[in-house]
Amino acid sequence: MPAITNHMPTEELQRIDAAHHMHPFTTGDELSAKGARVITRAKGVYLTDSEGIEILDAMAGLWCVNIGYGRDELADVAARQMKELPYYNTFFQTTHVPVIALSQKLAELAPGDLNHIFYAGSGSEANDTNLRMVRTYWAQKGKPDKNVVIARWNGYHGSSMGSGSLGGMVGIHSQGGLPIPNIHHIPQPHWWAEGGDMSPEDFGLARAQELEKAILELGEDRVAAFIAEPVQGAGGVIVPPATYWPEIQRICDKYGVLLIADEVICGFGRTGNWFGSQTMDIRPDIMTVAKGLSSGYIPIGGSIVSDEVAKVINACEFNHGYTYSGHPVAAAVALENLRIIEEENIIGHVRDVVAPYLKEKWEALTDHPLVGEARIVGMMGSIALTPNKATRAAFASEAGTVGYMCRERCFANALVMRHVGDRMIISPPLVITPAEVDILIERARKSLDETYEAVMAKGLMQAAA
Ligand code: PXG
């Protein structure tokens, strides 16, 4: 068999891919018929595909390439670490220098007394850890029945049995026997879609109070923890009303419910601070991290936990861990990534330069006939496509029809902008420049114009009854 290289014809690469590679969250047969887009290289905020087309990646991969593509420093650190110590585990009373250094750094960066890290290979694994850790925490404190975790509909926490159960994605729950027992979901603070006639402030408060209602129904002695993303990502970049998080914090404090902030997307600068918890002014007991921890260059995730949680867990043998918990190469790469974020003041660039610039351009998209609202926090934004801005109506067509059309136009216009239903979302690399933001917005507008034309031509500008 010939070696497979970048220089093979695209169709040949697509044929072999279709024959042997099963893609996540994909209808395999449909993709095989169409052929997957083959990405061959990337630099800065741009991807290059096998046809040589340069595409502006306004999703930073899958919300993770915070420092942008093509940073040789990370490759060099990985190579050095592989030569020195490519692998050793952190089980059986051993440790190594990269994991020691990364742990110290994360403890320094994380807010409050979040000073202890349990490592995983991904966000899903880290949330599985959290689920077992909070239940073990309460069992150790003599409350084994305090084992229910409350989460939110349309939240995303991963796709393993545990993390997929914590998430509130019905598509995930519908396959493979999820959710597992003792996970309880409450509604999300999605004002645009679900707020009806309420003001965003009243609605945010009402949705936070759903947590209190659930705790009272289940019983305070049954509820171990509440898990949520500071800003929902995969659910459609849903920014909660300002009233939401303070009320959630009050309720968690009042009933002794551990607060888990899933920072897998929000962490490491995405919202303009190191962590989304700082932007939303909350005090979690545990933060889930992954993605931006290594800017996606290598798989690594973890749970950053408070002194109190660590004290209780460390007093017992926590029968939990992964072969790659604290992998030395991943730890070394993550540490180098954090060094770059810090020394190059990338979060300052977000906060003071590019996020304010992007916000202005992004919010101006509401002048487009298809765009109802535009929401953005730091470098994660969304726009709602609607046939009627005044009523915030959904389209009469099946949810996601128009969003998908828009995403396809974006692809054709060399822009990766995703759709979640009929919301379009962006999460570009944090290092994007104002000039590159101009290109992003220009391509987004062109794609919206083309989508609007097609929507009108097909008679789809109709509100659902
Ligand atoms: N928590 C959050 C908040 C996430 O966004 C995970 C946990 C799980 O991480 P891993 O590393 O196990 O994938 C995620 C992942 C999408 C999409 O379509 C989003 C994610 C993953 C895959 C697709 O937006 N987020």
For the chain, what are the domain ranges? 37-67+345-457, 73-343
Among 64, 238, 265, 268, the mutation site with the greatest number of ligand 1 atoms within 8 A of its Cβ is 265
Residue nearest to atom 22 of ligand 1 (CA): 62
User: Rounded to the nearest whole angstrom, what is the distance from the C-alpha of residue 76 to the centroid of ligand 1?
Assistant: 27
Contact between residue 462 and residue 393 where contact means Cβ atoms under 8 Å apart? no
Structure token digits, residue 164? 């997929």
Average pLDDT score over residue span 252-265 = 98
Name the pLDDT band for 348 (thresholds 50, 70, 90): very high
What integer pLDDT is reported at residue 437 of this predicted model? 98
Of 422, 292, 331, 393, nearest in space to 102 by CA:
331
pTM of the shown model: 0.98
Q: Token pair 């005044």 is at which residue? A: 390
The count of C-alpha atoms lying within 13 angstroms of the C-alpha of 308, restricted to the half-sphere facing its C-beta, is 10
Protein residue closest via CA to atom 15 of ligand 1: 158
Helices (H), 35-87: 60-63, 72-84
Place of tokens 């349990």: 118
Ligand 1 contacts CB of residue 362 (under 6 A) = no
**pLDDT per residue as tens digits for the range 198-236:** 999 999 999 999 999 999 999 999 999 999 999 999 999
Q: Are 437 and 354 in contact (CB under 8 A)?
A: yes
How far away, in angstroms, is 294 Cα from ligand 1 center? 14
Torsion of CA 171, 173, 176, 181, to 10 degrees: 180
73-343 and 37-67+345-457 share a CATH fold = no
Gap between the Cα atoms of 161 and 171, Å rounded: 13
Q: Residue 64: name the closest of 379, 348, 456, 437 by CA.
A: 379
> Does the C-beta of 427 come closer than 6 Å to ligand 1?
no
Strand partners, 186: 152
CB of 265 sitting under 6 A from ligand 1: yes
Q: What percent of the chain has pLDDT over 70?
A: 100
CA of 172 to the centre of ligand 1 (A): 13
Which residue's CA is the nearest one to ligand 1's atom 9?
123
Taking the centre of ligand 1 as the mean of its atom positions, its distance from the CA of residue 234, in whole angstroms, is: 7
Residue 83 CA to ligand 1 centre (angstroms):
31
Distance, CA of 464 to CA of 403 (rounded, Å): 15
Residue of 291, 235, 233, 271 lying closest to 64 (CA atoms) = 291
Task: List, for residues 107-150, the tens digit of each pLDDT value.
Answer: 999 999 999 999 999 999 999 999 999 999 999 999 999 999 99
Cβ atoms of 94 and 129 closer than 8 Å: no
Question: pLDDT-based confidence at 7, cuts 50/70/90?
Answer: confident
What is the separation, in whole angstroms, between the first and last Cα of the chain? 57
Phi, psi of 376 (to 5 degrees): -155, 135
Residue 425 CA: which ligand 1 atom is closest? Answer: 24
> pLDDT digits over 260-304, tens only?
999 999 999 999 999 999 999 999 999 999 999 999 999 999 999
**Architecture of the domain delimited by 73-343:** 3-Layer(aba) Sandwich (3.40)
Second CATH level (architecture) for the domain 37-67+345-457:
Alpha-Beta Complex (3.90)
